[in-house]
Structure 1
Amino acid sequence: MEQKLEVSFHIAKRLIDVVVSFCLLIVLLPMLLAIAVLVKLDSPGPVFYLNERMGKDGRPFTLFKFRTMYYGSPPLHAADGSMLVLDDDPRVTQAGRLLRSGFDELPQLVNVLLGQMSLIGPRADPAAALATYRGIEGNRLRVKPGISGLAQVNGRTRLSLTQRHRFDLAYIEKQSSRLDTCIFLLTFFELLPLSRWGGHRLHERLNQAANRLISDAA
């Protein structure tokens, strides 16, 4: 019975991924075009940043993002192997500072539509990060990576690689439609300043609901 429920969940999740990503790409097309023009006018270089990441079962795929750094900027890595993000990073363009609240991730809707990613799931790591995996951290590759996830709505770049993996493993252990819905809604609070418009109570309730759903996974 549990196996049937798991299969049903993954079928429903894929169906939702396809429908929602397709609809969002249509609705957001004018904004995506405007962002593309902004990136192009702001600094020389391509509009998109393409990077190879690990997908489900370790299969590599090309992840799409809007470019937020000056073209040719070298990557910086923390001691744990994660990408290092500085508060006043000189590599980040003016347009990039605006986009880094989450808008730079929107092209990944194409990755979702192609079946390489899901709307909700663990963050997609580069192949080089595989060497830093310890023990059960490899379980992150059991599912498709997501545009958003528990780590993204609980600190994003402020978390260490170990902390991000802990959130990802908790999600994989307790993934459900209800948890996905909570994370999806929390993502909008991260993307848009809804708390400034009186939405802080709803944000707190969603956080509490998500924490209850994963409390047994710690």
Structure 2
Amino acid sequence: MERDSHQRVEMNPIVIQKDLFRKRLFDIIASTILIVCCIPLFLILPVLIVINSGRPVFFTQSRTGRNHEQFTIIKFRTMKQTNNDGNVHKYNWNGGVPDDFVFKSSFDSKVTPIGKVLRKYSLDEVPQLFNVLLGSMSMVGPRPEIPEITACYNSRQAKRLHVKPGLTGYAQINGRSEINHGQKIEYDLYYVENRSFLFDMKILLATVKYVVMGKGAY
């Protein structure tokens, strides 16, 4: 993605505040409705996970939120490895995270059979609706990274942390796990610089299409 292909939109501070209020109100309403709608998933998926790969049902991990504040993310477990400690990842990059870095692999042998299905259709992310409801995440925003990666950000990459991380984002409708870190940063920065309530709605609608297709998620 070439950043020159997008025209940055300068936003009025008053408009930004109104959008932030609408965004938070929408997050509360949308996450509450979706949690209620997903009650069958919260009943069925834990049973399938236990039958397929035992316990625990949930995977929790520290992630970096807005302005480098850390919070605990919750997902349905998709990996054979049950160690919830994100510190197993060690990176020592100087000058920022390399553009060609890819965190996930479609050939990850640690993913359980049921986990592959959950990841393909993003069902493992459903518990993060509680993160949205409690305010550590938003329905739309850059996907949250682990602190071991964000600690290596350069000043430009760190700009993606100016907003709350999201359940879905602009990068997720432009390749999801198929794009590298550099491409993801470009999409995330474009979102940060052009965010609006209307833009969020467009991303959410596009996300439905990508999730149903199960494209680009590992």
Q: TM-score, normalised by structure 2?
A: 0.82
Deviation of the 1:60 alpha carbon: 0.5
2: CA distance, partners of 1:65 / 1:27 = 17
Q: Does 1:90 align with 2:109?
A: yes
Kindly report which structure 2 residues correspond to 1:25-174, keeping only aligned pairs within 5 A, or say none: 25-72=35-82, 80=97, 84-101=103-120, 102-174=122-194
Aligned AA (2:176): R
Aligned twin of 1:22? 32
TM-aligned CA distance change 1:100 to 1:76, over 3 Å = farther
After TM superposition, the structure 1 stretch with the greater mean CA deviation from structure 2, 75-84 or 43-52, is 75-84
Task: Give 2:207's match in structure 1, choosing from 187, 195, 198.
Answer: 187
Show CA shifts across 1:100-157 (max 9, x none).
1211111100000000000000110111112331232111111100010011111111
Deviation of the 1:191 alpha carbon: 1.4
Aligned twin of 1:13? 23
Aligned twin of 2:3? none
1: CA distance, partners of 2:33 / 2:213 = 23
Q: Secondary structure at the match of 2:171?
A: coil
Where does structure 1 differ by over 4 angstroms across 4 or more consecutive aligned residues?
Answer: 73-83
Q: Percent identity?
A: 35
After TM superposition, the structure 1 stretch with the greater mean CA deviation from structure 2, 100-109 or 10-19, is 100-109
Deviation of the 1:193 alpha carbon: 3.2
2: CA distance, partners of 1:130 / 1:89 = 22
Q: Is the 8 A contact 2:168 2:207 kept in 1?
A: yes
TM-aligned CA distance change 1:103 to 1:194, over 3 Å = closer
After TM superposition, the structure 1 stretch with the greater mean CA deviation from structure 2, 114-123 or 157-166, is 157-166
Q: Secondary structure at the match of 2:167?
A: strand
Aligned residues: 195
2: CA distance, partners of 1:33 / 1:153 = 29
Aligned AA (1:61): F
Q: Secondary structure at the match of 1:135?
A: coil
TM-aligned CA distance change 1:157 to 1:186, over 3 Å = same
Q: Is the 8 A contact 1:140 1:172 kept in 2?
A: yes
Deviation of the 1:76 alpha carbon: 7.2
2: CA distance, partners of 1:112 / 1:94 = 28
Larger fraction in helix: 1
Structure 1 gaps of 5+ residues are 196-218
Deviation of the 1:83 alpha carbon: 5.9
Show CA shifts across 1:1-28 (max 9, x none).
9211111100000000000000000011
Q: TM-score, normalised by structure 1?
A: 0.82
TM-aligned CA distance change 1:35 to 1:77, over 3 Å = farther
1: CA distance, partners of 2:214 / 2:205 = 11
